[in-house]
Amino acid sequence: MDAGTSDSIQHVADVLVSCHYVVCLTGAGMSVESGIRPFRGPNGIWTEYGEPPLDDYRRFVTDPVGYWKGLLHPVGYYRELYAALEGAEPHQGYVALTELERVGVLKYIITQNIDGLHRKAGSSNVAEIHGSYLMCRCVSCGERFRREEVDVSSLPPRCFSCGGVIKSDVVVFGEPIPEDVARTCVDQADLADCMLLVGTSAYVYPAASFPRQVSAGGGTLVEIGPHPTEITEMCDVVVRGTAAEVLPQLADAVASRMDY
C-alpha cells in the first residue's frame, strides 16, 4: 500500500466477511481515545519522563519489597499512568470489536495494552501480551489473581497456590512474556487468515512478529489508524482514521452483510 492511500470501510467489511479467521492486534493508538497516553512517540509518557530501566525485572527479583512499595505508592510517570488507567473507559471502537466478536467474524484480540479495556468493554477472547494492570501474577506457577484479591499487608505478597512471589501482571523490561499468553498469541496468529491492526505500528517485538507471521502464511493484513506506520507497506488494505471513528462504521458494515 502507498502511505497516503485509504480504502473504503465497505471494502474492509467485504474482506473481513470473506475471511475465515480474523484476529485483531491492538496497540497504544487504541487507548489514546480513552484518555491513556502512549508510552512512545511525541506525546509519549516515556518521552516526557524517560524510559524505565531496562533491568526492571532484575530489580523486582532482587528487591520484590521495593518493587511492591513502588507499585502501592507510585511516583513520577507511574502515578500519572495509574491515575489515567483508573479513570479510563472503553470508547466506541472497543464496543465495535465486541460486536464483531458477537457476530462470529472476529475470533481473537491480541493487545499490547495493559489497560484491561477490551475485557471491560466485554470482549471475551483477549490475549494481553504485556499483561493487565488489573491483575497480579505468581512468578513461580503463573497463576493470576485480581489485584484487589492480593493481600499486601505483608510484602511481597505470596501466591495462594504455591507460595511463590506475586508481582503485577504487567510485563516489565527484562521480563519474559508469560508462556501461556505467548503461546496463545502464536497459535492465534497461526490460525489467522486475516489480521486487523488497530492503533499499532507493530514494531515492538514480540507483537511485531504476528502480522509478519500472518502475511508469510498468505493472510491479509488490514491496517486501521490515522497515520502511516512502519507496517503500512506490508498491509493489503488500509483505512485512515482513528479506532473510535472507523471501527463502529466497520462493525455496522459487517453486520449488514451477515445473515441472522
Residue 119 or 167 having the CB closest to Zn ion: 167
Determine which one of 11, 20, 130, 227 is catalytic: 130
Task: State yes or no: is 11 an active-site residue.
Answer: no
Q: Which of residues 100-159 bind Zn ion (CB under 5 A)?
A: 138, 140-141, 143, 159
Of 45 and 136, CB closest to Zn ion: 136
Min dist CB 144 to Zn ion, Å, is: 10
Size of the site for Zn ion (CB under 5 A): 8
CA 183, chain centre distance (Å)? 15
258 part of the interface to Zn ion, by CB under 5 A = no
Encoded one letter per residue, x for contact with Zn ion by CB under 5 A and - for no contact, window 152-171 reads: -------x-xx-x-------
Report the residue number, 138 or 251, with the smaller CB distance to Zn ion.
138
Instruction: Report, in Å, the least distance between residue 158 CB and Zn ion.
Output: 8
CB of 160 vs Zn ion, minimal distance in Å: 8
- Nearest distance in Å: CB 163, Zn ion: 7
Active site residues: 130
- Rule CB under 5 A: which residues touch Zn ion? 138, 140-141, 143, 159, 161-162, 164
